[in-house]
Amino acid sequence: MKRYILPFALAAFSLTLASCSSEVKIPEVPAEAAIAPKGPSDLTLTPAQEQQIGLRTDIATVRPFPVTVQSTGQVKPAADHIAHISTPVTGRIVTVSVKLGQRVSPGQVLATLKSDDVGQIEADLLQTILQSDADIRQAKVQLAFSKAAFQREQKLFNDRISAQADLEAARTQYEKDQTTYEALLTKREASIATVQERLSLYGVESGAAAQVVRNRRIDPFIDIISPRAGILLTRSINIGELADPSKELFTVADLSRVKLVADIYEKDIPKIHLGQPVKLTLDSLGLSFPGRIRYVANALDPQTRTLPIYVDVPNPTLTLKPEMFARIEVQVGDAHTLSVPKNALQRSGDYSFAYVPLGNHRYQERRVETGLDDGTYVQIKSGLKAGEPVVTGGTLALQGEALKAAGGIQ
């Protein structure tokens, strides 16, 4: 019976270990203890290192800082710098003289069309003039005859050969024929002037009617000209197509000034006024342009619940193109706030920091919370006090020395 004691003892011991091991727990390290936040770190340099780096410092100062309202917008041609060109008469296009993107001058011919309406008006004019000229020739002959008769009767009367009544009858006929002749001449000129007025309504240049009469040939072709200098933005017509007054044929815009159409949120509307300076930024090109608000709408857009504004932007280099998107910052005032030069700040991961000289060649890395940025100075919300010095020149080299001291760089 003794040989069964050891196996049973071993089995009991194993069960005891198993029950004990199921209750054993490994203590966990709190996350706060595992990753403790890093506090300010000091760095000591030698005078030689400071001289080599060429450190420069400035003072954290409370200064006026521009307060801005930000939005986005789209570049459009300025309304008073664009021309939408159509034809006042229906006709078929026979030539197109310009290409998209081409610069055009005031009065430059963009296209030519042939108008049947203009041709008919000029044909009617020619027919009227031909009849009028025939009447004038006949009246001229009659006038010459009556003039000669009057002169003959006057001589006979002076020689006491004819009676006074014969002289007066000859005078009356001569004056009547002279009036008829002059009336026909006036009527001819009036016919030309009337037709010219009609042609002007169709965009035909001044003097066209007189030229038709002079050349005895109709000219049904009308030049479509540009009323201003600019860039040809659109062209919606080709040779052989029919054009009519309802169809826009060309768009010419002077892009030396453009407008930016932007939307302002309701909460910012009280801050927006005409004439406020605006900074327009193209993130795609890394360029900024100055502008001013020249229009503020009187009602919100019912879909977006925003207020449209127009910003007038000089564009002498034509860098801004229609339909480009841009960010805008409207300067609505100034806030006196603590700030430092932008080059005093460095970033490490998700935080910004500055180096604060402590004296005796020591420098402290100070984490800061930043705010507004005007491109030169950055607002400091926390981490620095007014009057504290900060390193502004050599900060990158100083960061490298700090990494070396920490063992991050060999």
pLDDT of residue 282: 94
Of 11-20, 81-90, 209-218, 276-285, the poorest mean pLDDT is in: 11-20
Alpha-carbon span 226 to 190, nearest angstrom: 31
| Chain segment 383-409, per-residue pLDDT in tens | 999 999 999 988 888 888 888 877 654
pLDDT band at 11 (very low <50, low <70, confident <90, very high): very low
Alpha-carbon span 330 to 263, nearest angstrom: 12
Kind plus residue range of the DSSP H or E element containing 265:
strand 257-265
Task: Residue 310: name the closest of 258, 255, 261 by CA.
Answer: 261
| Chain segment 105-150, per-residue pLDDT in tens | 999 999 999 999 888 988 888 898 889 889 999 999 999 999 998 8
Torsion, CA 183, CA 189, CA 191, CA 193, rounded to 10: -140
pLDDT of residue 5: 38
Alpha-carbon span 58 to 362, nearest angstrom: 16
The residue extents of the domains of the chain are: 35-78+255-410, 81-115+220-253, 117-219
Q: Which residue has tokens 């044929």?
A: 249
Calculate mean pLDDT across residues 315-320: 95
pLDDT band at 329 (very low <50, low <70, confident <90, very high): very high
Alpha-carbon span 10 to 21, nearest angstrom: 16
Find the angle CA(178)-CA(174)-CA(153) to the nearest 5 degrees.
155
Show Cβ contacts of residue 164 under 8 Å, excluding neighbours closer than 6 positions.
Answer: 157
Q: Which residue has tokens 């700090």?
A: 402
| Chain segment 184-196, per-residue pLDDT in tens | 999 989 988 888 8
Say yes or no to pLDDT of 207 above 90: no
Phi-psi region of 160 (alpha: psi -120 to 50; beta: other; left: phi over 0): left
| Chain segment 344-354, per-residue pLDDT in tens | 999 888 899 99
Find the angle CA(223)-CA(202)-CA(95) to the nearest 5 degrees.
25
Q: How many CB atoms lie within 10 A of CB 392?
A: 19
Query: Does residue 239 sit in helix, strand or coil?
Result: coil
* Domain 35-78+255-410 is found in CATH 2.40.30.170: yes
Alpha-carbon span 320 to 311, nearest angstrom: 13
Say yes or no to pLDDT of 197 above 90: no
* 380, β-bridge pairs: 370
Say yes or no to pLDDT of 66 above 70: yes
pLDDT of residue 52: 84
Spelled out in words, what is the top-level CATH class assigned to the domain 81-115+220-253? Answer: mainly beta
| Chain segment 242-282, per-residue pLDDT in tens | 999 999 999 999 999 999 999 999 999 999 999 999 999 99
Torsion, CA 382, CA 384, CA 385, CA 391, rounded to 10: -150
